[in-house]
């Protein structure tokens, strides 16, 4: 209601209006209840504040906040959670601004405890029946009907309701805290934290926080009272010096109640249920089915417990019983979660938790050595899992013998270990070299093992999240192994390198998503006798938005490791067909080949897309070739070869790339569905090396295979005239390499071809 709607009523029924001056909206404190008045009529707002001044609820004063719009009120509500009642005008900056704020409070802020009293001076805009049905409000009043007395009564009653709801909310939240605490505890040492929480909550339930005490003990099966340790105490017993229940019962403070209390305790243990007498309660809990433990919570209240208190304790005990059972189960689960059941040593989860729990100073003094066994999978396939289990047991024994000062050894994978040292016990270089070459005796037979080793100074990881320590260390181990280093030392620059890779990977994701920056370059294949171009190979290149080129050696391994190669290969295929069409329009008729991998060839969607492009484009199938490495062609020969056959039937040629490096079965080569063998550039490079005999023999063998089984031959990586002439003398007609032309983008390639 606006001010003019109220001035028609007599002054003894309505509010006393103050002049339109600012009312202190900051009249708030931490020792009272808080009310928010939301009203855009300043005069009416001031009258509300004046009418409610001096009011108290349950002995606490009322603090009033004001807002002149729904948006201002929403900001206040977002910042404060102590507002109990809202006086809310319906019509403010918009006709339904007040109702919109109700929806914000209930559905967005999720607060169902605030009491919302809707006030309106224009009931026709928000009819009571519709509003009460559609919105979660607590009171609805027309401003002309609301006297000062009614207002004060209305606010007081709603605050009492708010207080009751809040007390229920707090109690519910306290119980939830116990449940959450029980879930988070994973070891015996944390039982103290759980039991202290339980004791505090029991104290709140029966009011012993300031007028009594509570003690919790646990009793292993059939243990005497002298062997029942005290787990936690609170209240009057917080400072008792007693380690056992027997010692607790012998305290001076227990003399009067001791005989009856001992009888009650024995009765609780005998009947396995709660017992009560005078101001004492003995609550019994058992986890015997899990870990053979029994718990007693002994409560002393200086006031005699009412039946309502006992009822509350009985109900509350169900939560406590579940908590103790959860603790017992979690202790068992902890063993399963953090220890390897085969070698009976800590596992990967334990290492991660240990690294997370280390302080910064502990990391400065610690060292982690990661090792993995070379060719472990092959050994398991050849000799069986029982043999490799014995192998790991023997290796563990050897590690313990070699490093008696190691403070933990954990199994972090099927074939990998983490060893944790204090730096003062750091192994020497000779010890690390000895670690990398193990000679073990398995079932009376000697077995030699080669290990990859990486030494990680944990101080160098201090800037990273602890949960990443092990992963980053394993990345360094893999990097060292790929470099051929049997023993590698973690570099302080490695985290920066990893971050750079992550950044590059994010940029690559974006480039693929935006279809920008990834372009094709084309390298010609030539007839070395006539210098005629006989084909082009499409190669992916990445030009970033700032114009810099990212070498394939940087982004291709990232794409392969992150599962992006399938998207890149699909992009390359589409761009290859588009380029072939452009070349055809320019009158250049040379086939273009593009690289695929095993996952592409065995992916039905990829092959279907290839077929669709062949059918829909104006490019003959004979102008398209695929290139597959020898090792991938042989990865699953029986699955891959029939697919290659279908491609040949479509008219698409198949080139076997990097030939000579995959150690293919000759029986498979003779039946391989391919048209061309490309001799790997490593053999071509060795033709002019210090000892060219081996490379010459490989090139000669491949030439004979080609002649015998009608394969075309292309020599890759021709770098100079001498290599070209050697290849020509050895029967090779086609070559590819920087000596003839480097990869070129399409426009440059067309110009080069026309020249």
CATH topology of domain 348-492: Alpha-Beta Plaits (3.30.70)
Q: What angle do CA 582, 585, 590 make, to 5 degrees?
A: 75
Q: How far is CA 532 from CA 281, 344, 521, 726, in A?
A: 101, 68, 19, 19
- Is the model's pLDDT at 7 over the cut of 50? no
pLDDT at 702: 87
Position of tokens 């309660």?
Answer: 281
Reported confidence tier of residue 252, pLDDT bands at 50, 70, 90: low
Reported confidence tier of residue 377, pLDDT bands at 50, 70, 90: confident
pLDDT at 24: 39
- Is the model's pLDDT at 23 over the cut of 90? no
pLDDT at 198: 66
Are 554 and 753 contacting, i.e. CB atoms less than 8 angstroms apart? no
pLDDT at 210: 54
CB neighbour burial string for 450-466, b if at least 16 within 10 angstroms, e if fewer: ebbbbbbbbebbeeeeb
Q: Structure tokens of 717?
A: 């990586």
For 38-70, the pLDDT digits (tens) are 998 898 999 999 999 888 888 889 999 999 998
For 407-432, the pLDDT digits (tens) are 899 999 989 999 999 998 899 989 99
Task: For residue 443, report the phi and psi dihedrals to the nearest 5 degrees.
Answer: 50, 40
Q: Give me the sign of the Cα torsion angle 658, 662, 665, 671.
A: negative
Taking each helix axis from N to C end, the angle separating 42-52 and 148-184, rounded to the nearest 10 degrees, works out to 80
Are 376 and 425 contacting, i.e. CB atoms less than 8 angstroms apart? no
Q: Structure tokens of 489?
A: 């030392």
- Is the model's pLDDT at 318 over the cut of 70? no
- Of 679, 710, 678, 672, give the one whose Cα is nearest residue 695: 679
DSSP, collapsed to helix, strand or coil, labels residue 592 as: strand
For residue 157, the tally of other CB atoms under 10 A from its CB is 14
Task: For residue 282, report the phi and psi dihedrals to the nearest 5 degrees.
Answer: -120, 110
pLDDT at 505: 87
DSSP, collapsed to helix, strand or coil, labels residue 15 as: coil
Calpha distance 639→642 (Å, rounded): 6
Report the predicted TM-score, pTM, of the whole model to 2 decimal places: 0.48
Superfamily of domain 505-754: EAL domain (3.20.20.450)
Mean of the per-residue pLDDT values of the chain:
82
Taking each helix axis from N to C end, the angle separating 348-357 and 307-338, rounded to the nearest 10 degrees, works out to 110
For 539-576, the pLDDT digits (tens) are 999 999 888 999 988 888 888 877 888 899 999 999 99
Q: What angle do CA 623, 624, 628 make, to 5 degrees?
A: 145
Position of tokens 């009793």?
Answer: 219
Calpha distance 415→373 (Å, rounded): 6
- Of 451, 446, 417, give the one whose Cα is nearest residue 434: 451
pLDDT at 18: 42
For 272-286, the pLDDT digits (tens) are 888 888 778 888 888
Calpha distance 219→260 (Å, rounded): 20
Calpha distance 636→736 (Å, rounded): 28
pLDDT at 203: 65
Residues 6+ apart with CB under 8 A from 584: 618, 619, 623
DSSP, collapsed to helix, strand or coil, labels residue 213 as: strand
Half-sphere exposure of 440 (CA within 13 A, CB side): 26
Lowest mean pLDDT among 16-20, 221-225, 244-248, 281-285: 16-20
Are 143 and 121 contacting, i.e. CB atoms less than 8 angstroms apart? yes
Are 741 and 531 contacting, i.e. CB atoms less than 8 angstroms apart? no
Tell me which range, 192-206, 672-686, 738-752, is most confidently predicted by mean pLDDT: 738-752
Reported confidence tier of residue 170, pLDDT bands at 50, 70, 90: low
pLDDT at 177: 44
Q: Structure tokens of 404?
A: 């008696």
Average pLDDT over residues 457-461: 89
Reported confidence tier of residue 27, pLDDT bands at 50, 70, 90: very low
Lowest mean pLDDT among 180-184, 464-468, 518-522, 719-723: 180-184
Calpha distance 100→109 (Å, rounded): 13
DSSP, collapsed to helix, strand or coil, labels residue 483 as: coil
Instruction: Give, in words, the CATH class of 185-338.
Output: alpha beta
Q: Structure tokens of 498?
A: 């990893």
Whole-angstrom distance between the N-terminal and C-terminal Cα of the chain?
Answer: 88
Percent of the chain with pLDDT over 70: 84
The CATH code for residues 3-169 is 3.40.50.2300
CB neighbour burial string for 118-136, b if at least 16 within 10 angstroms, e if fewer: bbbbebeebeeeebeeebe
- Of 122, 140, 147, 148, give the one whose Cα is nearest residue 4: 122
Helices then strands, counting H and E runs in the chain, come out as 29, 27
Average pLDDT over residues 725-749: 94
- Of 595, 523, 606, 592, give the one whose Cα is nearest residue 559: 595
Are 708 and 672 contacting, i.e. CB atoms less than 8 angstroms apart? no
- Nearest 10 degrees: CA dihedral of 388, 394, 395, 400? 150
Lowest mean pLDDT among 9-23, 190-204, 670-684: 9-23
Give domain limits for the chain: 3-169, 185-338, 348-492, 505-754
Helix %, strand %, coil % of the chain (to 5): 50, 25, 30
Calpha distance 161→155 (Å, rounded): 10
């Amino acid at each position: 209601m606006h001010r003019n709607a109220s001035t028609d009523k007599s002054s003894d029924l309505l509010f006393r209006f103050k002049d339109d001056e600012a009312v202190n909206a900051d009249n708030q404190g931490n020792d009272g209840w808080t009310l928010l008045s939301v009203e855009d009529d300043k005069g009416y707002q001031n009258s509300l504040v004046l009418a409610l001044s001096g009011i108290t609820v349950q002995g606490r004063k009322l603090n009033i906040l004001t807002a002149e719009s729904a948006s201002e009120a929403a900001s206040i509500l977002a910042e404060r959670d102590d507002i109990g009642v809202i006086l809310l005008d319906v019509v403010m900056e918009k006709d339904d601004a007040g109702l919109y704020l109700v929806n914000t409070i209930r559905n967005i802020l999720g607060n169902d405890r605030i009491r919302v009293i809707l006030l309106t001076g224009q009931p026709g805009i928000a009819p009571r029946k519709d509003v009460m049905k559609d919105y979660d409000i607590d009171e609805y009043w027309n401003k002309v009907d609301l006297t000062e007395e009614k207002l004060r009564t209305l606010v007081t009653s709603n605050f009492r309701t708010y207080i009751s709801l809040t007390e229920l909310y707090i109690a519910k939240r306290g119980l939830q805290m116990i449940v959450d605490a029980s879930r988070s505890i994973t070891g015996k040492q944390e039982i103290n934290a759980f039991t202290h929480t339980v004791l505090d909550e029991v104290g709140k339930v029966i009011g012993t926080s300031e007028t009594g005490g509570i003690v919790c003990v646990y009793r292993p099966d059939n243990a005497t009272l002298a062997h029942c340790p005290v787990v936690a105490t609170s209240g009057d017993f917080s400072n008792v010096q007693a380690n056992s229940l027997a010692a607790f019962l012998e305290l001076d403070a227990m003399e009067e109640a001791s005989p009856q209390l001992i009888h009650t305790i024995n009765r609780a243990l005998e009947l396995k249920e709660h017992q009560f007498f005078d101001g004492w309660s003995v609550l019994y809990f058992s986890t015997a089915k899990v870990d053979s433990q029994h718990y007693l919570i002994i409560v002393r209240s200086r006031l005699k417990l009412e039946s309502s208190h006992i009822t509350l304790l009985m109900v509350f005990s169900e939560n406590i019983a579940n908590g103790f059972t959860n603790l017992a189960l979690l202790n068992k689960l902890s063993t399963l979660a953090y220890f390897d059941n085969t070698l009976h040593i800590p596992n990967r989860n334990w290492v991660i938790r240990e690294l997370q729990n280390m302080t910064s100073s502990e990391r400065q003094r610690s060292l982690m050595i990661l090792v993995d066994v070379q060719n472990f999978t092959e050994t398991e396939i050849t000799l069986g899992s029982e043999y490799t289990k014995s192998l790991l047991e023997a290796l563990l024994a050897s590690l313990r013998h070699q490093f008696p000062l190691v403070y933990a050894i954990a199994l972090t994978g099927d074939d990998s270990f983490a060893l944790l040292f204090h730096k003062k016990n750091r192994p020497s270089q000779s010890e690390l070299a000895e670690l990398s070459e193990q000679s073990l005796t398995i079932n009376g037979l000697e077995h030699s093992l080669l290990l990859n080793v990486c030494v990680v100074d944990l101080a160098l990881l201090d800037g990273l999240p602890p949960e990443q320590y092990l992963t980053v260390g394993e990345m360094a181990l893999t990097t060292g192994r790929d470099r051929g280093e049997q023993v590698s030392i973690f570099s302080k620059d490695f985290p920066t390198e990893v971050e750079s890779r992550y950044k590059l990977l994010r940029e690559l994701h974006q480039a693929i998503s935006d279809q920008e920056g990834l372009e094709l370059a084309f390298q010609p294949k030539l007839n070395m006798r006539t210098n005629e171009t006989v084909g082009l190979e499409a190669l992916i290149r990445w030009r970033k938005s700032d114009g810099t080129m990212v070498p394939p050696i940087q982004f291709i391994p990232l794409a392969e490791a992150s599962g992006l190669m399938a998207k890149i290969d699909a992009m390359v295929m589409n761009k290859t067909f588009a380029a072939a069409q452009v070349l055809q329009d320019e009158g250049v008729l040379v086939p273009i080949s593009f690289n695929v991998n095993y996952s592409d060839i065995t992916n039905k969607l990829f092959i279907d897309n290839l077929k669709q492009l062949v059918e829909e484009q104006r490019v003959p199938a004979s102008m398209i070739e695929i290139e597959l490495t020898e090792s991938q062609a042989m990865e699953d020969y029986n699955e891959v070869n029939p697919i290659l056959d279908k491609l040949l039937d479509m008219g698409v040629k198949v080139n076997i790339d990097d030939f000579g490096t995959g150690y293919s079965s000759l029986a498979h080569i003779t039946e391989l569905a391919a048209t061309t063998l490309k001799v790997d550039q490593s053999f071509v490079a060795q033709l002019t090396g210090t000892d060219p005999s081996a490379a010459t023999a490989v090139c000669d063998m491949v030439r004979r295979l080609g002649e015998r089984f009608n394969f075309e031959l292309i020599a890759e990586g021709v770098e100079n005239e001498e290599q070209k002439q050697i290849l020509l003398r050895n029967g090779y007609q086609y070559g590819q390499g920087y000596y003839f032309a480097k990869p070129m983008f399409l426009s440059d390639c067309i110009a080069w071809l026309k020249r």
